[in-house]
């Protein structure tokens, strides 16, 4: 992969936690659940130890089969197993996070998903375009979903040509849209699809076309496996 040199200072990162996985539908009657993992090796999700949701509840997972896990919730510091379907159904769509300080800082031109979502998007002329509402990656490289003030959205390839500037500290990025792709909701969807933990902009030429395949670079953590999916802005 070709990269243009970019002298950069490492920015001070925000303190938002990092999304590692999502609990899906109940599986069977004994309290097991389907789990979407955002780690490089999906089974490595359990190696990070207890994870927490947006309310601060902490959970431990144990895989029982491919994509299916037993869940225990910590109550008064002790794990209590979810042992029936009713309790498991209450956990559907629970997002599981890890503290940022338990993960390595991303390399220059790499960004944690939590840092990209919520950034204000501006055009090259400084005009506001909207807010990054999601990051999608279905295998061909990451795209930013930018939501306008009227609620409509468009997808922008996360490349150096289309997103020439990312300023995490200033909570903004600059966009040079190619052909805009309108986004529509998928009816009947109840579970969020897989999303990358780290996005790294992919190589492209000035027209926004990819020059090379996306590079996946792994970030190691103490006592745990690697994080998944870094989408790199291309030179």
Task: Say how many C-beta atoms besides its own lie within 10 A of residue 52's C-beta.
Answer: 17
Q: Minimal CA–CA distance to 175: which of 136, 131, 122?
A: 122
**pLDDT per position as a tens digit, 90-139:** 999 999 999 988 888 778 778 877 788 889 999 989 999 999 988 887 76
Q: Between residues 233 and 93, which one has the greater pLDDT?
A: 93
Please state, in angstroms and rounded to a whole number, the distance separating the CA atoms of residues 64 and 87: 18
**DSSP 8-state secondary structure symbol assigned to residue 85:** H
Range with the poorest average pLDDT among 3-17, 172-186, 202-216: 202-216
pTM of the entire predicted model? 0.58
Q: Between residues 233 and 190, which one has the greater pLDDT?
A: 233
Task: Determine the pLDDT at residue 85.
Answer: 97
Work out the average pLDDT over 61-85.
97
10 pLDDT tier (thresholds 50, 70, 90): very low
Please state, in angstroms and rounded to a whole number, the distance separating the CA atoms of residues 226 and 235: 25
The domains located in the chain, with CATH, are: 18-102 (2.40.30.60), 110-200 (2.30.30.240)
């Amino acid at each position: 992969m070709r990269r243009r040199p970019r002298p950069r200072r490492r920015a001070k990162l925000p303190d938002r936690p990092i999304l590692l996985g999502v609990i899906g539908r109940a599986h069977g009657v004994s309290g097991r659940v389907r789990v979407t993992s955002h780690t490089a090796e999906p089974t490595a999700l359990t190696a990070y130890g207890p994870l927490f949701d947006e309310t601060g509840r902490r959970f431990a997972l144990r895989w029982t089969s491919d994509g299916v896990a037993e869940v225990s919730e910590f109550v008064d510091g002790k794990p209590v197993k979810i042992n029936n379907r009713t309790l498991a159904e209450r956990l559907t769509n629970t997002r599981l996070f890890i503290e940022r300080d338990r993960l390595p800082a991303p390399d220059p031109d790499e960004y944690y998903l939590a840092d990209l979502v919520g950034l204000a998007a501006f055009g090259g002329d400084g005009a506001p375009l909207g807010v990054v509402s999601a990051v999608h990656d279905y295998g061909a490289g990451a795209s930013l979903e930018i939501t306008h003030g009227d609620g409509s959205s468009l997808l922008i390839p996360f490349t150096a040509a289309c997103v020439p500037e990312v300023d995490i500290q200033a909570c903004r990025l600059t966009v040079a849209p190619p052909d805009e792709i309108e986004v529509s909701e998928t009816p009947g969807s109840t579970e969020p699809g897989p999303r990358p933990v780290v996005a790294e902009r992919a190589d492209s030429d000035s027209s926004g076309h990819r020059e090379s395949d996306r590079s996946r670079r792994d970030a190691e953590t103490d006592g745990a496996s690697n994080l998944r999916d870094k989408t790199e802005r291309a030179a």
